[in-house]
Amino acid sequence: MYPAKHVLVSETASFARLSCSTDETWDTAMTADTKTPFEHVNDVLAQLKEMRHYAKNNVETLTAQWLLFDGELKKLKHVSQIEALMTRQSELHDALNEEIDKLEELAVSLQPPPEEAQ
């Protein structure tokens, strides 16, 4: 095995130098500090879209359970608690959709112009 090479960098460093081979070739690694606003917005958009996907699945699953056990829940006097949860979950889904729409508009405005072919 090759000996390990360690490089110490501060947390606020914009670039970290990492050894990428045994012949002392160095590459620069991109850190969070080097991302553009466009890249940050796209990262957040991807995370929100994933959250929306799971929120939608949760609403659908809870609704299916609700329909199956509606009568039993009424007997157990748990209807209002479940309805409140369903309402809050639906509100989260709506809020995610609104924020995704806003961030998609922002991403379009932040997108760098296409590079001209030379």
Give pLDDT tens digits for 37-82.
999 999 999 999 999 988 888 878 878 887 777 777 777 777 788 7
- Per the prediction, the chain carries an average pLDDT of 74
Better-scored residue on pLDDT, 93 or 33: 93
Rounded-to-integer distance, Cα 30 and Cα 50, Å: 24
Residue 58: the pLDDT is 80
Residue 4: strand, helix, or coil:
coil
How many whole angstroms from its chain centre is CA 78? 33
Residue 49: the pLDDT is 93
C-alpha torsion angle, residues 66, 71, 72, 75 (rounded to 10): 130
Rounded-to-integer distance, Cα 109 and Cα 103, Å: 10
Q: Looking at 3-17, 50-64, 80-94, 103-117, which range is the least confident one?
A: 3-17
Question: How many beta carbons lie within 10 A of that of residue 41, not counting itself?
Answer: 19
